[in-house]
């Protein structure tokens, strides 16, 4: 807390200090937003790959009905669950 006479320079110094802090916060927010967008892009790629894997398994099952795809389907189901968990923790971008 200041006591006494507040000069124009004191006010400018305080405003400049505040401006530095605001700029740091804005940079940090931009970094966080960029990271969230990168994660969203990665999750979208995972979803695309997962859909392709499921389609390929379905084609293999159709072409090879005698084979047991239970373990492979379970593994893909686990991957699907993990991808959904990743999506749940991604914060929405501003």
From residue 78, alpha-carbon distances to 5, 73, 87 in Å are 68, 9, 14
What is residue 2's predicted lDDT score, i.e. its pLDDT?
Answer: 56
Q: Residue 86 — φ and ψ, nearest 5°?
A: -60, -45
CA distance 78 to 73: 9
What is residue 70's predicted lDDT score, i.e. its pLDDT?
Answer: 93
What is residue 91's predicted lDDT score, i.e. its pLDDT?
Answer: 63
Each residue of 44-80: pLDDT tens digit?
Answer: 888 898 899 999 999 999 999 999 999 999 999 998 8
Q: Where are the alpha helices (DSSP H) in 1-94?
A: 8-63, 70-89
Q: Is the pTM of this model over 0.95?
A: no
Each residue of 19-54: pLDDT tens digit?
Answer: 888 888 888 888 888 888 888 888 888 889 889 999
């Amino acid at each position: 807390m200041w006591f006494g006479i507040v000069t124009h320079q004191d006010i400018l110094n305080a405003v400049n200090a505040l401006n530095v802090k605001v700029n740091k916060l804005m940079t940090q927010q931009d970094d966080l937003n960029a990271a969230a967008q990168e994660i969203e892009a990665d999750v979208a790629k995972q979803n695309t790959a997962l859909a392709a894997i499921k389609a390929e398994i379905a084609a293999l099952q159709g072409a090879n009905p005698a084979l047991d795809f239970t373990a492979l389907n379970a593994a893909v189901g686990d991957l699907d669950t993990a991808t959904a968990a990743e999506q749940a923790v991604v914060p929405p971008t501003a």
